[in-house]
Amino acid sequence: MEPIERAATVRYAAAADLPDALRGADALFVYDFLSRALPSAWPAADTLGWVHIASAGVDPVMFPELRDSDVVLTNSRGVFDAAIAEYVLGLVIAFAKDFAGSLRLQQQRTWRHRETERVAGTSALVVGTGPIGRAVARLLRAVGMSVAGAGRRARRDDPDFGTVVSSAELTDHVADVDVVVAVAPLTEQTKGMFDARAFAAMKPGSRFVNVGRGELMVTDDLVSALRSGHLSAAALDVFEQEPLPPESPLWTMENVLISAHMSGDVVGWRDALVEVFADNFARWCEGRPLRNVVDKRLGYVPSMS
């Protein structure tokens, strides 16, 4: 933060201090991106022109007052792409090779040979065609999977996905897919899109990976689809409620892999997030166009295409 501290008065604020810190501020860097402190502090934002968030998803700050204001919103697009793609690929292989089963057998000192699955030749639908979804698609393709995307606009000949189907018609396009990966931004349109109807449309025995936002899925519906055996497994890095409450049935389901909202957080990620902000800060000071400007109507940074 040194370059920024040299050029501006920087106030560091926890949630309780946010209203005071916000008063008279020209720009806000939301570093704790899951903080819910901003809406209630918003009336103090008397001179604010720019909010930058240390995440790819901007849903935590899409409250009406900010959304409808003239305040520019930018995100940290790009920081997490490659790391999340590796994470998803690892999960897909972990399913195919039953790494979780091996670890449980190891804990019981039990030697049990099982047959595994190939990954190449299987198929994935990546729901979300932003930079993270694109990185996921490229990496899954690199190991021989056939990959399509699901986004706002159906199209062919996408450079990363080939075919992109319409997210709104998801249930028409999941019947033959081995792994469905949720990495869409959380908006009014995508909230709860993975519900009982969507899971029922998926291929029997298929798997679900959520590295986007917990609110993309209806957790109870997912639990039912897993318990019935219709879905064979799920890997969840995000949840409707985080931290995942101890009473959640997900914790003890053997066909569920849980991690703590960390798929993109590789060593050095905090520095990378500050660098993205610092770059935009320099642009802002010099009156140059900001990077990663969110279309607040859409709820994400539109891709250039």
Q: Which is nearer to a second copy, 103 or 282 (CB)?
A: 103
**Contact letters for a second copy, residues 23-52 (x by CB under 8 A):** ------------------------------
User: Whole-number minimum distance, CB 271 to a second copy, in Å?
Assistant: 11
Q: Which is nearer to a second copy, 15 or 260 (CB)?
A: 260
Q: Provide the CB-side half-sphere exposure for 23 (13 A, CA).
A: 4
Tell me phi and psi for residue 150, to 5 degrees: -130, 125
Q: Which is nearer to a second copy, 10 or 82 (CB)?
A: 82
What is the set of active-site residues? Answer: 213, 242, 261
271 binds a second copy (CB under 8 A): no
Contact 226, 233 (CB under 8 A): yes
223 binds a second copy (CB under 8 A): no
Task: Of 28, 53, 76, 132, give the one whose Cα is nearest residue 272.
Answer: 76
Q: Which is nearer to a second copy, 7 or 34 (CB)?
A: 34
Residue span binding a second copy (CB under 8 A) among the ranges 80-88, 182-190, 206-214, 272-280: 80-88
| Residues near 69 by beta carbon (within 8 Å), at least 6 away in sequence | none
Q: Which of 26, 40, 118, 227 binds a second copy (CB under 8 A)?
A: 118
CB atoms within 10 A of CB 188: 7
**Contact letters for a second copy, residues 48-67 (x by CB under 8 A):** --------------------
Contact 35, 14 (CB under 8 A): no
Say if residue 75 is exposed, middle or buried (CB neighbours under 10 Å; 0-12, 13-18, 19+): buried
Q: Which of 2, 5, 9, 111 binds a second copy (CB under 8 A)?
A: 111
13 binds a second copy (CB under 8 A): no
Residue span binding a second copy (CB under 8 A) among the ranges 13-21, 71-79, 136-144, 189-197: 136-144
User: Whole-number minimum distance, CB 176 to a second copy, in Å?
Assistant: 18
Q: How far apart are CA 35 and CA 228, in angstroms?
A: 36
259 binds a second copy (CB under 8 A): yes
**Contact letters for a second copy, residues 162-201 (x by CB under 8 A):** ----------------------------------------
User: Whole-number minimum distance, CB 6 to a second copy, in Å?
Assistant: 28
Angle value at C-alpha 35, between 46 and 261, nearest 5 degrees: 150
Q: Which of 102, 146, 166, 303 binds a second copy (CB under 8 A)?
A: 102
CB atoms within 10 A of CB 295: 11
Q: How far apart are CA 239 and CA 252, in angstroms?
A: 15
How do 146-151 and 123-127 pair as beta strands? parallel
- How far the first Cα of the chain sits from its last, in Å, is 33
Q: Which is nearer to a second copy, 272 or 301 (CB)?
A: 272
